[in-house]
Structures are given as structure tokens and as C-alpha cells.
Amino acid sequence: MLLRLLLIPLFTMSASGTKTEDGACQRHVSDCVAAAKDQARYDHYRIYNVQFDNVEQIELFQKLEEQSDSLTFIGHAREIGQKLSILVAAHRVADFADLLQTYKLQHRVLTYNFQEKIDRNMREVLPEDVDVDKYDWQHFFHLKTINGWMEHMAAKHPDRLSVLDMGSSTQGNPIKGIKLGSNPENKAIFIESGIHAREWIAPATATYIINELLNSKDKQVQNLAKNYNWFVFPCVNPDGYKYTFEHDRMWRKNRQLFGTCRGVDLNRNYPDHWNSTGSSSDPTRYDYAGPSAGSELETKRLIDFIRNNVAKEQIKTYISLHSYSQMLMFPYGYTKEHVSNYDDLQEFGKKAAAAIKAESGRDYVSGNLYETIYPSSGGSMDWAHAEAGIPIAYTFELRGPPDSQDLFILPAVEIQPTASEAFTAIRTIVEAAAEKGYYK
Ligand SMILES: *[C@@H]1O[C@H](CO)[C@@H](O)[C@H](O)[C@H]1NC(C)=O
Ligand SMILES: [Zn+2]
């Protein structure tokens, strides 16, 4: 009885302390809003960029990554001379700084309060139900808006554009894309983006490319739109993408449940040398390969789509858009062994990087994925090339640079130039491949 008397007023107090019946916050308005939305926060999280100068430091940081879920490694500690960015939780800053000093690691602090980057980024998002006429490349957009925009463009250009649906995701969201062009003689180019949820610049770039192909006044772009059929799927991980807007800006994987945690890294889940290198068997990790090869619904949807269309639609080029690091990479990811058309892919990649340099002055590195960024298996690009037999396959890491202060939180002012660079790279690759007879 006494317990009851105590509990009732306590419960009532905490309930009325956060929200009134009409939903208005009574005090600590920002706390109240964040709590009500169940959003992850990164206040005073720091980004360190560390350099490994000896084997002892590398082994130490490999252990550290395994032990700690309050340190987010952007890549793994692998080799001498390597520089690596690490997002350090606020409560670990002192301990981490001490380790750097104790083991004499060269380092820089790139950002002191990561939440500020996220706050600024969230102000660059237009509301989910914004009129699709307001769609642009100065803001970021929700899944629903991107899908609505594609429907809108298809309604405006019914002769040239149709909306496609690969089927639904794990949580029942549609995986939508477009087909542009309908000449059955044309060879096709397939572009996929958003497989990693937090890399928002990738879907923004995909919609930019759709828009350019539809509306550009440039004769060369108009010819590309006419002479090839284009398949573009901006959000192939819709559940993850939604989650980054609603709950955690840093989420990367899909949202499949594994007991106490969620998510498979869909770009480690493809059935080509699956789970052989550069992925994790631990569902709590950001690069979890999944319980088996091709286990995830999103992976199956994409595989089915490519299998059903690769011959029928003559898909000869596969592009996967990611961020960040400014790299143009081709297969393989799982081995440093060379693909049969290595020399061509190397040449096209170098041409594309030079074209970007000429356009914006930005440095993009080109090479096979294994040697250029880090070894990883089960990626969509390796599968598309090796299993689906698509000869021209690239994975782009878009802006910012490898030592970016923003990690994946690219400012909206950079959408337009980044997307333009990516499109320039694709144009350069397609034209160079055409010259070599890949689309005959
Ligand atoms: C994935 O590879 C790891 C390391 O070789 C192994 O321990 C694990 O059993 C593999 N996972 C599956 C599901 O085969
Ligand atoms: Zn990625």
C-alpha cells in the first residue's frame, strides 16, 4: 500500500515533467524533443585522425576496435603509414587522448563536437511532405520525398522515364528506381546508391544524375541519355536511410533484427567470396556480413533485378555510389588479384579522375578496391562483375577527402559540385569504354 502511494505520484510527476497532454514541452525543450523522438546524440564526440608508425600501434588499435563500442573506427588499423579517422564518444575522450600520448601516436583532432555537424546537417533537410516541385540539390531529402520526386518526374516525362520497384525491404519500404530510355537496341547502365544509410550524398547524387539526363542542355549529355538506357536506384537500403533521418544519423546497415542488436552491412552480404575478408561475423559491428551469403531481403531484391535484366536489358556498366574519401574503384574488393580487364578499368578510372581534377580541382584516387581503400568481401560491385558478368563496374567514394572533418555529414552546399563530379566521372568512363568497344 505504501509502495503504491509512492509510485503513483512519482509516475505522474515524471510524465507531466516532460510533456503535457497536447504534446508541448514544459521545460528543457531541447531535451524533451530529443527524448520524444528517441534520437541518438553525439554531443562533444571528437573525431581524431591518427597515424600508425609501427606494428605495435597497429596491433594496439586492432585490439582497441574489438574491445570498444564507444570508438567508431572509419576503417580498420592495417598498415604502417596509414591514417585513420576515429569518432570518440565524449566519455572516452580523456582515456583515448591518454592512449595516444602513451603510445606516441601522431594525430590531429579534426572535430571537437560532432553533434554540431549533425545539427547543421538536419537544418538542411526539407520536411518529408514538402511539395516535390521543391526538390533540389541544395537540401537533403527523406526517402518518401525522393520516391515522390521520381514519380513526379515520370509523370512529367512519361515517354522517357518509368518508375520501377524492386520489391519491399525488410521493414516493408519499397526499393524504387527509374528506367530512363526505352530503345531496346541500347546498352544499359545501372546505378545503385544508398546501400550505406548514412552516406546521404549518394542518393542526392543519383537523383542529380537522373535530372541531368532528363533536362541537361548539354548535347553530349543528351546523347548519353539517348544512346544508353539508364537504371538508377537511389535508395537500395530504404530502412537504414529512414533510420538515419529519424533516429541515428550515423546508422550504416539495414535494420534486420539479431537478438539484442540490428543490421547487416548490405555491401558485405553479396554472394561472391562472402565473409572472406574485411567484414565481421559479429552483428554488433558496422561491417557485419550477415548470417549467410545473400541473406538479406535487400540483397535478394537487387540480385533478382540484375539477374532478370542483365541479358534482356544488356546491362554493361554497374556503378555503386558511396561516401567518403574521393575514390573511383573497380573490382576486386576481396583480393588484390587483377580482373581480366584490369588495364581498361584502370585506364578509364584514371581518365575519370583527371576529368574531375579539371572540373573542380578535387583529387580523386583511382584503382582496384582492395588496394585503394581496404580489403572487403561481399560487395555489390564484386558480385555484379564476377557473378552477373557486368564488365564495367565501379564503386565511387564521393566527397569529402579522406581526412574530412565531417565524416559522412557532407554540407548541402557541396551536393551540387559533388554530384556534378560523379556524373563527369561516369560520362568519362562510359565514353572511354565505348571507344574500347564495350557497348558494341
Ligand atoms: C565467417 O568467417 C569467420 C572467420 O573466418 C568464421 O569464424 C565464421 O564462422 C564465418 N561465418 C559463417 C556464418 O560462416
Ligand atoms: Zn559506403
pLDDT tens-digit readout, 84-124: 999 999 999 999 999 999 999 999 999 999 999 999 999 99
Per-residue pLDDT tens digits for 72-82: 999 999 999 99
As a whole number of angstroms, the distance between CA 95 and CA 73 comes to 16
Which residue intervals of 286-338 are DSSP H helices? 297-309
Nearest Cα residue to 141 out of 200, 227, 54: 200
Alpha-helix runs per DSSP H in 22-108: 29-37, 55-67, 93-102
Predicted pLDDT of residue 29: 53
CA distance 104 to 8: 56
Q: Which CATH architecture has domain 46-112?
A: 2-Layer Sandwich (3.30)
Residues 126-153: tens digit of each pLDDT:
999 999 999 999 999 999 999 999 999 9
Return the SS3 of 336. Answer: coil
Segments of the chain assigned to CATH 3.40.630.10: 132-435
CB 266 within 8 A of CB 253: yes
- Of the residues 387, 397, 431, 435, only one is catalytic, namely 397
How far is residue 336's CA from residue 37's CA, in Å, rounded to a whole number? Answer: 45
pLDDT class of 31 with cuts at 50, 70, 90:
low
pLDDT tens for each residue of 252-272: 999 999 999 999 999 999 999
pTM value is: 0.92
User: Is residue 88 within 8 Å of 71, Cβ to Cβ?
Assistant: yes
Question: Which three cell numbers, joined as nine digits, stand for 90?
Answer: 565524449
Q: Report the distance separating Cα 23 and Cα 350, nearest Å.
A: 56
Q: How far is the CA of 291 from the centre of ligand 1 (A)?
A: 9
Question: pLDDT value at position 19?
Answer: 45
Residue of the CA atom closest to atom 8 of ligand 1: 281
Q: How far is the CA of 110 from the centre of ligand 1 (A)?
A: 35
Distance from C-alpha of 175 to C-alpha of 367, rounded to nearest angstrom: 30
Model pLDDT, residue 384: 98
Query: By the 8 A CB rule, do 416 and 208 touch?
Result: yes
CA distance 229 to 179: 7
Q: What is the DSSP string of 342-373?
A: HHHHHHHHHHHHHHHHHHH----EEEEHHHHT
pLDDT average, residue stretch 5-15: 39
310 close to 190: Cβ distance less than 8 angstroms: no
To the query of whether residue 397 is one of the catalytic residues in this protein, the response is yes
For residue 388, the surrounding DSSP H or E stretch is: none
- Pocket flag, ligand 1, residue 281 (CB < 6 Å): yes
In the chain, where does the domain assigned CATH 3.30.70.340 lie? 46-112
So what's the pLDDT on residue 375? 95
Confidence of residue 25 (pLDDT cuts 50, 70, 90): very low
Instruction: Report d(CA 243, CA 263) in Å as an integer.
Output: 11
The grid coordinates of residue 277 equal 575478408
Asked if residue 212 lies in contact with residue 423, where contact means CB atoms within 8 angstroms, the answer is yes
Quick one: 374 exposed, middle or buried, by C-beta within 10 A (0-12, 13-18, 19+)?
middle
Distance 194 CA to ligand 2 centre (A): 8
Reported confidence tier of residue 69, pLDDT bands at 50, 70, 90 = confident
User: What number is the average pLDDT over the span 429-434?
Assistant: 98
CA–CA distances in Å: residue 26 to residues 11, 14, 142, 229? 16, 12, 29, 56
Nearest-CA neighbor of 400 among 346, 362, 358, 351?
Answer: 362
Alpha carbons 250 and 252: distance in angstroms, whole number: 6
Q: Is the CB of 275 under 6 A from ligand 1?
A: yes
The SS3 of residue 74 is strand
Cell numbers for 177: 528506381
For residue 196, the ligand closest to its alpha carbon is 2
CA-closest candidate to residue 107, choices 146, 63, 57 = 57
Q: From the CA of 211, how far away is ligand 2's center (Å)?
A: 23
With the most atoms of ligand 1 within 8 angstroms of its CB, the residue from 66, 276, 281, 292 to mutate is: 281
Task: State how far the Cα of 245 lies from the Cα of 44, in Å rounded to an integer.
Answer: 20
In CATH terms, the superfamily for domain 132-435 is: Zn peptidases (3.40.630.10)
